[in-house]
Amino acid sequence: MAHIELKNITKKFGGHTALTSLNLEIADGEFFVLLGETGAGKTTTLRLIAGLEKPTEGQVFIDGVDVADWGAAERDVALVLQQYSLYPRYTVRENLEFPLKPKIRRLPDAEIKDRVARAARTLRIEHLLDRKTDRLSGGEMQRVSIGRAIVRKPRVFLMDEPLSALDAKLREALRTELKNLQMQLGATFLFVTHDQIEAMSMGDKVGVLNHGRIVQTGTPQEIYNNPRDTYVASFVGSPPMNLIDGKLVDNRAVMAPMNFELPLSGAGNAADGRPLVFGIRPEDVYLESGAPVEAHVHDVENHGVEKILTLRVGDTMLRATVPARTDVEIEQPVRFAWNPDKVVLFDKGSGVSLRHAS
């Protein structure tokens, strides 16, 4: 268990800059999720903490100690990778024993047995212990590689997209299991993913990474309700937040290109007349017969519990999540409104939310 801090980390690979003055703090016992697209620098961040890469600039602290000169072995972290990295030719048991058997810190046999048994029980792989690793399914392999991490009781668990090679059902199941495991162990977890659903459902805290920079850190709720900029707004949430260009005139949002207006309260007058982007989550857009704006239904996606409608106003598309019983057809004219309390305003030029800018 440990507290981790990255200070001003820059990492370059030749001419390519993977991370730019990155600052990150992970509290002891926290489940921290690093969320970002492929190539955003998530894996690099993990490898820097694990000691598999050295930062070009900046420092890594584990429990307040600068670990710049420590190798991976001394940092005492566990790393679970997407490609499992099980040792071939060995059985599951031998894989689990591997980290416990190096001569320098070899544990007594009884202790090894006990730890392997406990890890196997936790991950429900007891029946696989004597099987060769190449005879396992993807889910089983990933459990074994998590098992190899937990037998050692490391200070930090680093997980590099451990679930993304699995099929959807298994992914959901392991998601819950991992979260439970973390609570049970009380360990610090750093979990890297490109899947915003994983991030929202598992993380105590989420850090959004874009092009080697941390854009926003916060609880999943903060990230969801109060995105720092349009990138976070469009990356987090499925379907993503609607982003519409417009202006604020007399407490009314005036959408610039095709002139529709919606009421907006509490934005103050500071932003009057300035080019803005209005952000609204699809669930905060609702259909109502007397609502102020007319639109056409462009597309309907039925998700069972709800329907996601794509509405068309002029050339602008926007999504609305409505109850499944709502009866609409494609090209049907409807009227919609939004929940004015939930609107997030972004500066048109910088993309930064006005709430975060001040």
Partner 1 sequence: MASVALTHLDPASRAAARGWSDLTIRNLFIIPTLVFLIIFNIFPLIYSLGYSFTNFAANRSEPWQFVGLQNYRELLSDDHIWSNFIITAKYVIVSVAGQMIVGFGLALLLNRSFPMKGLITTLLLLPMMMSAAVVGLFWQLLYSPSWGPINYVFGLGDFAWLSNPDSALYAVAITDIWMWSPFVMLLSLAGLSAVPQHLYEAAAIDRAGWWYTFTRITLPLVSPILLIALIFRTMEAFKTFDIAYTMTTQPTAELIAIRLYKQAFQQWDTGKSCALAYIVLIMVLAITNLYVKYLNKVKER
Q: Which residues of 236-266 are buried (b: 16+ CB within 10 A; e: fewer)?
A: bbebbbbbbebbbeeebbbbeeeebebebee
324: amino acid identity, one letter: A
Instruction: Establish if 87 lies at the interface with partner 1 (CB under 8 A).
Output: yes
Angle at 229 between CA 213 and CA 351, to 5 degrees: 105
Kindly tell me which residue out of 50, 112, 128, 267 binds partner 1, with binding defined by CB under 8 A: 50
Instruction: Establish if 78 lies at the interface with partner 1 (CB under 8 A).
Output: yes
What count of other Cβ atoms lies within 10 Å of the Cβ of residue 152?
18
- Are the C-beta atoms of residues 149 and 80 closer than 8 Å to each other? yes
What count of other Cβ atoms lies within 10 Å of the Cβ of residue 306?
16
Kindly tell me which residue out of 8, 59, 83, 180 binds partner 1, with binding defined by CB under 8 A: 83
Instruction: Establish if 152 lies at the interface with partner 1 (CB under 8 A).
Output: yes
Instruction: Establish if 187 lies at the interface with partner 1 (CB under 8 A).
Output: no
Instruction: Establish if 175 lies at the interface with partner 1 (CB under 8 A).
Output: no
Kindly tell me which residue out of 14, 16, 69, 89 binds partner 1, with binding defined by CB under 8 A: 89
Stretch that binds partner 1, among 34-42, 67-75, 176-184, 259-267 (CB under 8 A): 67-75
**At its nearest, how many Å lie between partner 1 and the CB of residue 55?**
17
Count, residues near partner 1 per rule CB under 8 A: 25
**At its nearest, how many Å lie between partner 1 and the CB of residue 89?**
5
The separation between the first and the last C-alpha atoms of the chain, rounded to the nearest angstrom, is 36
Q: Smaller CB distance to partner 1: residue 107 or 271? A: 107
Stretch that binds partner 1, among 33-41, 98-106, 288-296, 349-357 (CB under 8 A): 98-106
Rounded CA separation 200/219 (Å): 9
- Are the C-beta atoms of residues 71 and 77 closer than 8 Å to each other? no
Footprint on this chain of partner 1 (rule: CB under 8 A) = 50-52, 71-73, 76-79, 81, 83, 85, 87-89, 98-99, 101-105, 148, 152
